[in-house]
Amino acid sequence: MTEFAQDNRFATTRWSIVLRAGTRDENARTALETLCECYWQPLYFFLRRKGYTPEDAIDLVQGFIVTLLEKGQLGSLDQSRGRFRSYLMAALMHYLSNERDRARAGKRGGNTATVSLDAMEAEQKYQLVAQDSKTPEDIFAKQWALGLLNRVLAEVGRSYDSPDQRPVFEALKPTITGELNETYAELAATLDMTETAVKVAAHRLRRRYREAFRATILDTLDSETTLEDEVNYLLKALTD
């Protein structure tokens, strides 16, 4: 994974746009909205493990995002500068503290949905890990990492949407996920390709995945200097 830190090309990312412009700038607001839509589910898992009901958890996440997008940033961005996930958690805790200081009744009522939150799907996924002994913070970390990896895989898959490429992607996807149970020779027979061609295709797929993985992580950072640390964080979250 250290190869990610060796590529010094750094494009403007969604999070760096938010940090530089502030959430009241239209481009920054759009960038923040996209990030929230991608990463709200780990917050839901965190709140459920904290003991909130499914209804309260989704209500709090929705209210939090509305506040984040419509009223500007909560607290100082500098306290969590560098990583969107760190800022998001700090901002959520700030929001929860404020919520505890006032009656909830009517406070979040009437909020217009700003991002798509599928509460039923989130709860179904939460139930799969409900018996896990992990802390709320650990669950948040693992769901953040899993969500990021799933988005990367889906993004790469979209580049294989043509009728002739989709079977190749589906057959070679296990070379990324580590679930490959067939030899390259067997895959070649299935895909009606030579074994050499399959190996080349698998190499290209993994390269695309690495590039998308890097770009997706960078979108949550304000600079490339913390990329290797973030990769290590994600790997640790997945294996702990």
DSSP per position, 140-188: HHHHHHHHHHHHHHHHHHHTT-STTTHHHHHHHTHHHHT---S-HHHHH
Based on DSSP, count helices (H) and strands (E) in the chain, helices before strands: 11, 0
Percentage above 90 pLDDT, the chain: 60
Closest by Cα among 140, 6, 44, 160 to 83: 140
Q: For residues 193 and 185, is the Cβ–Cβ distance under 8 A?
A: no
Is residue 154's pLDDT more than 50?
A: yes
pTM for this entry: 0.83
* Neighbour tally for 28: CB within 10 Å: 20
For the chain, state the CA radius of gyration.
20
pLDDT at site 18 = 84
Residue in this structure with the two tokens 């306290």, named with its chain if needed: 79
Q: What is the pLDDT of residues 32-90, one digit of tens each?
A: 899 999 999 999 999 999 999 999 999 999 999 988 887 665 545 555 567 999 989 98
Name the residue type at position 108.
Answer: R
Residue 111 has pLDDT above 50, yes or no: yes
Q: In this predicted structure, what is the pLDDT of residue 1?
A: 37
Q: Name which of 23-27, 78-82, 125-129 the model is least confident about.
A: 78-82
Q: Which pLDDT band holds residue 144 (cuts at 50, 70, 90)?
A: very high
Residue 3: per-residue pLDDT: 39
CB 61 within 8 A of CB 43: yes
Contact 36, 115 (CB under 8 A): yes
Nearest residue to 229 (alpha-carbon basis) of 217, 213, 212: 217
Distances (CA, A) of 186 to 60, 75, 149, 163, 195: 50, 56, 27, 21, 8
In this structure, which amino acid lies at residue 91? A
Q: Using CA atoms in the order 11, 12, 16, 17, what is the torsion angle rounded to 10 degrees?
A: -170
Question: When comparing pLDDT for 54 and 17, which is higher?
Answer: 54
* DSSP string of 24-68, one letter each residue: TSHHHHHHHHHHHHHHHHHHHHHHHHTT--HHHHHHHHHHHHHHH
* CA distances, 225 to each of 51, 80, 85, 91 (Å): 36, 15, 16, 23
In terms of pLDDT, which residue wins out, 130 or 7? 130
Mean local confidence (pLDDT), 106-132: 78
Q: What is the pLDDT of residues 174-212, one digit of tens each?
A: 999 888 999 999 999 999 999 999 999 999 999 999 999
